[in-house]
Chain A
Amino acid sequence: MSVEESADTRSAESALKVTRSRRNVAWSGIGAVIVVGALFAFPYYEGSGTLGIMIQGLIILTLASMWNLLAGYAGLVSVGQQAFFGLGAYFVLIPAMHGLTPWAGLFIATIGAAVCALPLWWLVARLRLGYFAIATWVLASVVMLVIEQISSIGGGTGEPLPGLVGYDPALLTAYTYWAALSVAVLAIGGVYFLLRSRVGLMLTAIRDDETAARSSGVRVGLARLLVFVVAAAGCGAAGGVLAIQQLQVVPGTSGGVFSVQWTAEMAFAVIIGGLGTIEGPIVGTVVYMVLQQTLQSHNVWYLIVLGIVAVGIAIFARRGLWGTVDERFGIRLFPVGYHLWAPGERRGGLGRLGRGRGRAAQAG
């Protein structure tokens, strides 16, 4: 940056102020710590049944955060995330069959899925939107077909997960819950800090105008690769948690780890909650859990209803539930963009009158 430029920036700064958010977000950080703390204490006052449902929700929450990062921030609509989810489950299973504890396998699942994402990215990197979507779907199918060829890890029928036999069932459920919660917290936290970093800035620039970003030196391909790999890692970790919860790994497209249903659930949760917001996947997962628990005696109806709600929201309220709240009240618990303070604008004093101007200036 030249001297002249920095002087310009400084004089601009004296008139305009740029902060992360229009409101102070310290309280939402404190709130997040309290909520996570309360969730960690959950196993002390809840039974295994509730914990099982919670684990399921935390898996979906992790997946949804990853899909949000892909589609909401990098424009990568992947319909093949079940590939990494399934690979994660197998990366827990395979070391466990050789004597490693499945808990350590969760780390292998995370790293292994990320490593597998590299060659797969190379195949789909130049595709955009619809083509990218189906191509990832095909890749997930290819990954499954290859895994099903390997008979030593159960071939097409699957394999029980060894290494957790000695545990007391209640204790095992609690441990699994803590693992699932840790994975979910790390996933959301990871996405949050990634988006606040330079990468987040790059992604915002790409989303607003890819050509302009490219010509300003943003390495578009690298940013997308990074997002793809991080999302694969998160989905891999979630798949590892599923393997531990189910104590087995079953491949296959109907009911198995490679089912497109996993991607449908994560995508629907994100779309309902709000694409492109950190809070969206959390809200969406809550909606998912409520629907799933209410309709659980009606087979796949929850997925049909979830799909109808997601399609309806995609058309009539594109920003999802949280996005609509944000639009109306300007609330962001986890701001990843910046707010440009107009001259004379006061913190927290915007109300509904000023929201149009405030929103226009709020990037990301």
Chain B
Amino acid sequence: MDWVNAIIQGLLTGGLYALFACGLSLLFGVMKVVNLAHGDLAIVAGYIGVGVIAVSHMPVLWSIPVVVLLMAVLGYVLQRSLLEAAISRGELTTLIVTFGLSIIIENGLQQFFTANSRGLGVGDSFITASFTIGSQITIAWFNLAVFVVAVVVLLGLQQYLSYSKYGRLIRAVADDREAAQLSGADYRHVFGIAAAIAFGTVAIAGMAEGMVTTISPSLGTDTILLFAFASVVIGGLGSLWGTLLGGVILGVAQAVGAQINPSYEQLAGYAVFLLVLVFRPQGLTSRGAQ
């Protein structure tokens, strides 16, 4: 029964990892940009949440849309300024700039908010409530809610990219920038919109992380970026469903590892990641070779 419990908890954590990975996957898919500052931006969102709650005294859950909106604006602005300049200068420059951003953000947060971890959402009964199945499996309502949000966000985004006007525009620009440009699409603006969406999902992920556990400046690179990347690789590129699957597999692997020995948690997750990298580098859901 412990094992079943571990797998269920891992599955729920996996939803959070998929949420982390969503923005990374989207930016890579659309702009071929691997954003090394991805994890740190999630932490920035968490700290913005702390700030918004402190200033406005609004309930934690109400602050989420505000943070998402702020991060989306930040995403658009950052894309149209720094990232756009970097992308136009080539992949190497883009990597250097996002790596630089990652280090600047992490150390900047440490400077202003100390290295201590902070939580969001204490005192809300919804966050601590849980229900039991049988005698040994306890599921926290909040973890379940995060999982549902992850599924809704990833599924919604997939639908949005497939069927909406802007979604089609984003896919067109991702497929062939020049052709889209010739057809009247301003790829810079479309990239900005894609970045805004990606940052919005990052904001949800960062807020969820802050509510499920705590956030601290070093968490962005130590866990969020690497877990997000592992989820993307396990699931396979180009499919948000794959990203969801990858996140869930990573979460379950970690939970099972932790069940064997608490100190194996991260190693077990990375072991699955490395196996996929070696034996199925295109990921579990992609069909063709890369």
B133 at the interface (CB under 8 A from A): no
Instruction: Please encode chain B, from 25 to 37, with 1 for each CB lying within 8 Å of some chain A CB and 0 for all others.
Output: 0001000111010
Measured between C-beta atoms, what is the minimum distance from B267 to chain A in Å?
Answer: 5
> Are B86 and A315 interface neighbours, CB within 8 A?
yes
> Are B107 and A303 interface neighbours, CB within 8 A?
yes
Measured between C-beta atoms, what is the minimum distance from A153 to chain B in Å?
Answer: 15
B191 at the interface (CB under 8 A from A): no
Residues of the B chain whose Cβ atoms lie less than 8 Å from the Cβ of A149? 263, 267
> Are A267 and B96 interface neighbours, CB within 8 A?
yes
Comparing B9-17, B64-72, B194-202, B272-280, the segment that makes contact with chain A is: B272-280
- Give the interface size bracket for B toward A: 35 or more
- Identify which of A264, A300, A310 contacts B110 (C-beta below 8 A): A300
> Are A311 and B36 interface neighbours, CB within 8 A?
no
Considering the complex, which residues of chain A in the window 144-179 have a beta carbon less than 8 Å from any beta carbon of chain B?
A: 145-146, 148-149
> Are A141 and B28 interface neighbours, CB within 8 A?
no
Measured between C-beta atoms, what is the minimum distance from A314 to chain B in Å?
Answer: 4
Instruction: Please encode chain A, from 283 to 316, with 1 for each CB lying within 8 Å of some chain B CB and 0 for all others.
Output: 0000000000000000111011001101100110
Chain B residues touching A, majority SS: helix
- Identify which of A131, A275, A315 contacts B97 (C-beta below 8 A): A315
Complex CA–CA separation, A264 to B222 (angstroms): 14
A77 at the interface (CB under 8 A from B): yes
- Identify which of A71, A145, A303, A308 contacts B270 (C-beta below 8 A): A145
> Are B96 and A311 interface neighbours, CB within 8 A?
yes
B47 at the interface (CB under 8 A from A): no
**16 cross-chain CB contacts under 8 A:** A71-B92, A77-B95, A79-B99, A133-B36, A135-B233, A135-B277, A138-B226, A138-B273, A253-B222, A264-B99, A304-B103, A304-B108, A304-B111, A307-B101, A307-B107, A310-B100
10 new A-B contacts, CB < 8 A, other than A133-B99, A149-B263, A264-B103, are A77-B96, A124-B277, A130-B94, A134-B226, A137-B226, A260-B103, A268-B100, A311-B101, A315-B85, A318-B93
- Top 9 A-B pairs ranked by shortest CB distance? A130-B34, A311-B100, A307-B104, A300-B107, A314-B96, A134-B229, A264-B103, A307-B100, A307-B103
Q: Which residues of B contact A (CB under 8 A)?
A: 28, 32-34, 36, 82, 85-86, 89, 91-97, 99-101, 103-104, 107-108, 110-111, 115, 218, 221-222, 225-226, 229-230, 233, 263, 266-267, 270, 273-274, 277-278, 281
